[in-house]
Structure 1
Amino acid sequence: MKTPTAADLPFYFNYRSNPAIAAAEGRIPDQTTAQAQKHLHMIIAGNGSANYSWFIVPAGTETPVGTIAIWGFSADRTTAELAYGLLPKFQHHGYMHAALAQVTAFAFSRLQLTRLDCYTAASNTPSLNLLTSSGFTHRETITEDNLAGEPTTMVIYAQDRPL
């Protein structure tokens, strides 16, 4: 994994403009590099305070294939939300499982979070399987409007800090 930089814009535009990823994230795909650049700048500016974001880079390469982040901290900074995604052709190769293990360990040991939450679409079976196999448990099912304004059934999975 690596910390995002402005030089990662080509990857990030590819990621943010991908229709399958946008649908999974409940948002409209970015149409311009300026849109992706604005979001990338926001991530970089907040990294280490408002969020902790990384790009997933397979061993032996320098090209990112996905993202993973901790964000949405509670006011007392004891809980936060997890977000992640991979370009479709890199899904089902174990990259996210490895990244999730690293980020979960970071959340509990370095940030001292007591709980890490993850919202995912109820229909996203690969994500549900990833969370379950990584020690997350189902906490709640909700229906809310996604970023595209469409009602979506979401499930909240969570993992508590090990004792």
Structure 2
Amino acid sequence: MNFGTFPVVKTERFLLRQMTIEDAPAVFEIFSDADVTKDMGEDPFKSIEQAEDLIHFMNNLFIENKAIRWGIINKEDNTLIGTCGYNGWEIHRGSRGEIAYDLGKKYWRKGYMTEILKSLISFGFETMGLYRIEAFTNVDATPSINLLKKAGFNQDGVLRGYSSSQGVYVDNRCFSLLKSEWK
């Protein structure tokens, strides 16, 4: 998968674009909240430098053709409210990608991620040519589980000890949506 330039995705209320170092304060605000990072298995950020490092890391993954992570920009006030994208993809032994997303807590439960997820799914199937989109959640991440189900994802199962969260291995739920099930 080679995009060349970083793709921009538009929804009714949001613009998904590449993050820049100017986004670091907003990224720091989001990732310094323990409620946001708890399901990521990461400690909350303690410095703006961590946000800058994350932006560089995510942009480098795109340059290396390994992942794509957008900043979610509210069109109304040009505010970065979260990030989303594909943590990776497999195109040699199938055609699948792993989707991931986060929002600042003050933007939760407003229907924003439902709108954004529809565009991410469309981008995966139509632009990336994926056949399967996967998502992984902690077993108790009820809002994310409900979001995925609402978007048409099916739970494939529970993966025991699948990820590490703050030094402890935890189970994850695996969800998927096939292109043939979409729309």
| TM-score bucket of the superposed structures, by smaller chain | over 0.9
**Rounded Cα–Cα distance in structure 2 between residues aligned with 1:29 and 1:43:** 17
Q: Is the 8 A contact 1:58 1:95 kept in 2?
A: no
Show structure 1 runs of 5+ residues with no match.
none
Deviates more, 1:5-14 or 1:42-51: 42-51
- Please state if 1:148 is matched with 2:166: yes
**Rounded Cα–Cα distance in structure 2 between residues aligned with 1:162 and 1:52:** 23
Please state whether the residue corresponding to 1:50 is helix, strand or coil: coil
Residue in 2 that maps onto 1:47: 62
User: Quick check: which one's strand share is greater?
Assistant: 2
Q: Is the 8 A contact 2:30 2:105 kept in 1?
A: no
**Rounded Cα–Cα distance in structure 1 between residues aligned with 2:171 and 2:51:** 26
User: Offset at 1:26?
Assistant: 1.3
Please state whether the residue corresponding to 1:66 is helix, strand or coil: strand
Q: Is the 8 A contact 1:68 1:83 kept in 2?
A: yes
Relative to the length of structure 2, the TM-score reads: 0.83
**Aligned-residue identity in percent:** 24
Matched length? 163
Residue in 1 that maps onto 2:121: 104
Please state whether the residue corresponding to 1:28 is helix, strand or coil: coil
Q: Is the 8 A contact 1:27 1:146 kept in 2?
A: no
For residues 61-85 of structure 1, the C-alpha deviation after alignment (integer angstroms, 9 at most, x for no partner) is 2111111111222262721111111
Show structure 2 runs of 5+ residues with no match.
1-15
Q: Which amino acid aligns with 2:42?
A: R
